[in-house]
Amino acid sequence: MTKHQQAPQEALRTYRDRFLAINDGRLTRLRESLQTKQKQCLDLLPLLFHTHLRGSPGYFVEPDVPVGLVQYQPNQGTLSLLQQVNFSARPGTARAMYPQIAGLYLMGSSGSVAQSTSSDLDIWLCYKPGLTQHQIDLLETKAEMISHWAEGFNLEVHFFLMNSQQFEAGDQRSLTGENCGSTQHFLLLDEFYRTGQLLAGAPPAWWFVPAQQENRYDDLVREFRGRGVARLEESIDFGALPNLPAGEFIGAGMWQLYKGIDSPHKSVLKLLLLEVYARDFPNVTSLAHQYKNAVHDGVTELNELDPYVMLYRRIESYLSGRSEHSRLELIRRCFYFKAGIQLSRPVKVSTWRRQLMAELTKEWGWQSDYLAYLDGHASWPVQDIMAERKLLINELTRSYRFLTQFAAEHESNHLMSQQDLLILSRKLHAAFDRRRGKIDFISFGHQVDLSHEKIRIKEVGPRKGQPSHWVAHSQLPNGQIGSTLKKSSGLLETMLWCHLNGLLAAHLHIPVFTQFSSITNFEVRKTLADLRQSLPLNMPPVPASNFYKPAQVERVLLFSNLGCDPLQHLTRRGLQKISARSNSLDFSSLRENLVASIDMVVINSWGEVVVEHFDQQDALPQAIHFLLSLLARQKYVHRPMLESFCHNQTRPQAIAKRIQDLFEDAVTALYDYARKQPVRFLYNLGQQYQALTINKRQLNSLSFDTEAELVDWLGQEQAQRNRILPDRHFESDKNRLRAVIDQQEEQGLTLIYQLAKRVATVYLIDENGSLLSFRQACRTKTSLLASLLRFVKITEHRRQALDSELSTPSLPIQCYEMTLLPSGIPTMKRVGTAGLLDDKQTSNVQVMMELGPDGQQEFVLLCHDREFSSQELGDDFFPQVAACILAARPDNEPYPMYITDLSLSDRITAGLPNGQAQTIHYLRYKLRLEQRINEALLVQARLLQSARSAEVIPIDAANDSK
């Protein structure tokens, strides 16, 4: 056996002593970086978990809280600290007979060159196997209370409850807070072993197993424990660190990108380490193994074993070997910014961290002026900030693409849970996705103040077929225009980008230079004031819980006519007050649409801010269609908050209010569909009628020049109940159509009629919401209503007989009479229908419709106990039917007849668009047949009158004939 295989007690004790010496050295370095109260807080942490004493931080009344730290005995100084915060504590109370906590481990940057005064402390709270879930929950509650107590010392502490047996088996919690969840296992263990510091409790068994023999890890640990070597029976075992599995790289890469949103410099370093590991795969010598080998070989120099120095050296060797010097320079800056030591600033006392960073920067050849430039990054010119941001994002995405390709080449699936993958993907999408109109943020990893920047916003005219656009330039100290910072299709997007990135914070006057736009300084100032009010510069962070579900539109800002005033030409012509029409979308006698452009700002629950610009002739319909399409794709019903702004010289409040009302009504219509009922939304736009259909998450916009075209469209068949929802300011000719629509019922049919002499204008909204309008001659109101109501009721019975549901309820029929006030305003009066269905004066006329072999419609009509067939009678069908009806009338008057029953054959029904007949189909066929028959009645009546006239011969004429 080799020396390592024999593993004598002396060697194992030597390993333990070296690791503990390094551990104590790093803890000492950590304590040196803390304030006095913070040191006391850190020193008390083990004792607070070792005991559960009334009056101590983390105490709550519960007898089963796990207590006791393995191998921990507080010293007198720590006990004195406890008595300072808990006067009732006594030294004898600090004993635990059966310790249930295996250890407290600091991990991460603590005690390293990367530990700064603002760094938080990540602590693994390792409990013994065998605790119940209730006890684990109690321990977690206690840890949260202690974290809250530590905040009072300006010390941010995160505890992660760990079970070594579960961890070794790969059972980890999902992604919450600072935890990396299921994204990685062995890579996390690699970081733990090379950065972990034993705060109190048992040392890890991994310390004692030589790296070359980790393939025999379990056997060696059992052997050491069996021989009682170096108190290994009290060690904690998280398992061996074998060859890294390929499946962890993609998960770890996504996790580091996720962390890189807030800490890009640190994440770039760790992503580069993953790239180094992947290049060496499968024969990867991890940093943890490199660290353990150095300790076993006798290296104890803290600077040399500093986790972040080792990390940098490994990446430096990799990039130098590949001659990627620009990447190496970026890595050095990331390392310098992560350390957070400003070497150009003089200090009274030089710490070990400062001395170490000075040695490294000297090795890199950095001069004092360059160090001063880096230390002044908070005041960098905006061009430098954007350039550095671009380099960081490129590096993050480059490393991630490499890891993705690596996983594909090795046919390895990522080891992330689906939930973790989804959450990470959503946050990465929100942070890095670039699409037209989305506002990107310059600040990336640093808090920067750009209020000192001077900005110029300029309109650039169309060139080479490209439309005009807006550009934000920096302005040099000599007044010259600097580099282009932002280019957008609209002014609002450019202004919003400048505002949210702090470039306009100190500007009272925004220099906007136009070529074609007529925007005024007043509009610019008011618009910027709106943006500052609605979207403050320092927006609150997005809660992590928002990424647990798809992005929802939270707020929508609508800016109308920015840079254009449609009323200017009316003002010059003095036409504003020509009529009382004040609707901003249907203004004056000229029926003008006063909205020429819409800039829409959409803010969603993931913190994304997107600007959409609409300035074509149909800008308003496009904007409504866009917003409703966006909302319709959302999985959850979530109504956004809408705000409307307009700063034209004339009628700005009226225009803003009209747009606010219209969009709110459109959103209401959309969420009416959310009740699983399709909707047709109507509104006016100038002389046109606009419609928007909402059905099956699909939207379709239509435009109609006349009310007749609109009514024809509203009369189209519908597959199911389809409500008509006009916006609150919708107007029709003399507003009769609006009055009809307002009477529609949630269910059933609505029948409305208006009488004028002996002609009735009838509106019917059937069971599916189809609207039919027609004019019909009528003898009396009773005969009109009786025939219509009887026909509709019989038709309902026919449809119910064909319905597959046996218990289809009867649909109500509401009847109204429309009359016009002297002002022309229509009013509605409810009409009772009792007795009309039993009207004995109405003759029964029944028709059966069929399609002949040639596709022509054929009819069989039953009237006065006689049957007439169009197939048999041909062209004589209508004349004979009319003659029969006239013969049954005592006075032979050709007043209108009404069909009371109509049946459609299966072939006719199958040929309808939705394969089913609704009331309007029956009614249309009825009206067409009645028109033909009534025309025939007039002809037959004239023939009959002529015949009668011929029978009465004058006396003179008779004598002449003789």
Task: Give per-residue pLDDT as tens, 352-367.
Answer: 999 999 999 999 999 9
- Distance between CA 433 and CA 222 in Å, rounded? 51
Residue 429's pLDDT is 84
- Distance between CA 528 and CA 482 in Å, rounded? 23
Task: Give per-residue pLDDT as tens, 440-463.
Answer: 988 776 677 777 788 888 888 877
Residue 96's pLDDT is 65
Residue reference for tokens 């006396």: 955
Average pLDDT of the segment spanning 689-694: 92
962 pLDDT higher than 90:
no
Residue 697's pLDDT is 67
- Distance between CA 689 and CA 593 in Å, rounded? 12
Rounded percentage of the chain residues whose pLDDT exceeds 70 = 88
Coil/strand/helix, residue 511: coil
Q: Where does 123-185 have alpha helices with state H?
A: 133-151, 164-168
- DSSP secondary structure, 201-255, as one string: EPPBGGGGS-GGGGGGHHHHHHHHHHTTGGGGGG-B------SPPTHHHHHHHHH
Of 541, 512, 525, 389, the closest CA to residue 450 belongs to 389
Residue 401's pLDDT is 84
- Distance between CA 496 and CA 98 in Å, rounded? 62
Confidence at 194, pLDDT banded by 50, 70, 90: very high
Residue 309's pLDDT is 96
Neighbours of 551 (CB within 10 A): 18
Residue 633, H or E segment: none
Task: Give per-residue pLDDT as tens, 942-956.
Answer: 988 888 777 655 545
Residue 6's pLDDT is 45
Query: Do residues 870 and 858 touch, judged by C-beta distance below 8 A?
Result: yes
Average pLDDT of the segment spanning 373-381: 89
Confidence at 174, pLDDT banded by 50, 70, 90: very low
Query: Do residues 584 and 655 touch, judged by C-beta distance below 8 A?
Result: yes
178 pLDDT higher than 60:
no
101-107 vs 679-685, strand pairing mode: unpaired
889 pLDDT higher than 90:
no
Highest-pLDDT range among 141-150, 261-270, 555-564, 645-654: 141-150
Average pLDDT of the segment spanning 319-329: 96
Task: List strand residue ranges (DSSP E) for 831-873, in order.
Answer: 845-851, 857-863, 866-869
Supply the pTM of this predicted model: 0.81
- Distance between CA 759 and CA 752 in Å, rounded? 14
Residue 583's pLDDT is 60
DSSP type of residue 442: S
- Distance between CA 575 and CA 587 in Å, rounded? 10
Residue 142's pLDDT is 96
- Distance between CA 204 and CA 211 in Å, rounded? 14
**Mean of per-residue pLDDT scores for the chain:** 85
233 CB-contact burial (10 Å; exposed 0-12 / middle 13-18 / buried 19+): exposed
177 pLDDT higher than 60:
no
Confidence at 710, pLDDT banded by 50, 70, 90: very high
Residue 287's pLDDT is 94
User: How far, in Å, are 268, 286, 562, 647 from residue 396 at the CA level?
Assistant: 6, 21, 38, 43
In angstroms and rounded to an integer, the radius of gyration of the C-alpha atoms of the chain is 42
Of 709, 708, 738, the closest CA to residue 725 belongs to 738
Confidence at 762, pLDDT banded by 50, 70, 90: very high
Task: Give per-residue pLDDT as tens, 514-538.
Answer: 877 788 888 999 999 999 999 988 8
Query: Do residues 24 and 65 touch, judged by C-beta distance below 8 A?
Result: no
- Distance between CA 787 and CA 793 in Å, rounded? 10
Confidence at 417, pLDDT banded by 50, 70, 90: low
Of 327, 224, 309, 221, the closest CA to residue 268 belongs to 327
Coil/strand/helix, residue 903: strand
In the sheet that 698-704 helps form, which strands lie side by side, from edge to edge?
698-704, 688-695, 679-685, 723-726
Task: Give per-residue pLDDT as tens, 603-612.
Answer: 999 999 999 9
Residue 409's pLDDT is 82
Residue 415's pLDDT is 57
Residue 644, H or E segment: strand 641-646
Average pLDDT of the segment spanning 425-437: 85
Coil/strand/helix, residue 605: coil
Residue 804's pLDDT is 57
Lowest mean pLDDT across 188-202, 474-488, 678-692, 729-743 = 474-488
User: How far, in Å, are 118, 644, 675, 909 from residue 914 at the CA level?
Assistant: 68, 41, 22, 9
Neighbours of 547 (CB within 10 A): 23
Residue 5's pLDDT is 47
Task: Give per-residue pLDDT as tens, 253-292.
Answer: 878 888 888 888 888 999 999 999 989 888 889 999 999 9
- Distance between CA 49 and CA 255 in Å, rounded? 31
347 pLDDT higher than 50:
yes
Which carries the bigger pLDDT value, residue 242 or residue 411? 242
DSSP type of residue 811: P
- Cα-Cα-Cα-Cα dihedral sign, residues 132, 135, 137, 139: negative
Coil/strand/helix, residue 472: strand
